[in-house]
Amino acid sequence: MKTCVWLWFMGTLMGCGGFVAAAEEIVYLDATFDDKTIDQAIGTGGAALGEPIKVDAGVTAVVRATPFGSPSLEVQDAADAAGRVTFEFLEDAEVTTGLVVVAMDLWFTGDADVNQQAVVYLREHGFSGWQFLNMFFWGTGEINVGTETDWANGLGPYPFGQAFTLLIVVNMDTGLISGWLDGELLFSDLEHGVVGRGIGRVEIGMVSDTDRVPTIWVDRLRVSNTPPDTPAVPTTWGAVKSLFRVATR
């Protein structure tokens, strides 16, 4: 009998050849901003160009050389209103089966004010009514997350003034979502509670305006059907892998 090591990740079985349910990687969005003009507003040409499809009037979205070592997207409060930058997937995809893996580097700055509230949303294609995932980053460093039917509050803290990596994995077959911050498990097995729709967009921005909302820089925003081969922060990837439960067969 053949002996093989199997890994159980978010309800998906991994065998000797990798993910059984995802033999070939599918990349839905890859936005590195490396080929964009520094100090210019980002275009809205969509995923084929590594760009958002929309920038709300309440924010600006400008490519900057800092604070990361490579160009990143600066999302900043611009008006007395909430606003977000919206990315959708290649070929208008809306994923209903398998894994949706969202990875990005983030950097926040701003006053430690309890009223600050930056957000990362996962939504369906073409609309933002169904709440697959809402992540609220408060000015105190606390993170709250919620879906259509589930929530987890008082998470974190996340750091100000330095880079950190956010990894979100949604198993569309089981309806469960887990997230990691710098390789450490932040939340696990939340039910998204959405029926009949898939994930097709990522939104990043501000949910409320106090004129003291921090600036957000985003880099290496990538959505695929498999966890990244290498992490955005390599030294922490082992912490993510250590969360897998190992069995033999």
Query: Which has the closest alpha carbon to 152: 141, 142, 167?
Result: 142
Question: Per-residue pLDDT for the chain (249 aa), expressed as one digit of tens each?
Answer: 333 222 334 334 333 333 344 448 999 999 999 999 999 999 999 999 999 999 999 899 999 999 999 999 999 888 777 899 999 999 999 999 999 999 999 999 865 566 668 899 999 998 778 899 999 998 888 999 999 999 999 999 999 889 999 999 999 999 999 999 999 999 999 999 999 999 999 999 988 655 566 689 999 999 999 976 544 443 343 444 443 332 222
pLDDT value for 235: 39
pLDDT value for 13: 34
Q: Residue written as tokens 């053949």? A: 2
pLDDT value for 227: 78
pLDDT value for 69: 93
Fold held by 24-232: Jelly Rolls (2.60.120)
Phi-psi region of 228 (alpha: psi -120 to 50; beta: other; left: phi over 0): beta
Q: Which two tokens stand for residue 31?
A: 């936005």
pLDDT value for 213: 60
Torsion angle of C-alpha atoms 214, 27, 237, 245, degrees rounded to 10: 120
pLDDT value for 71: 98
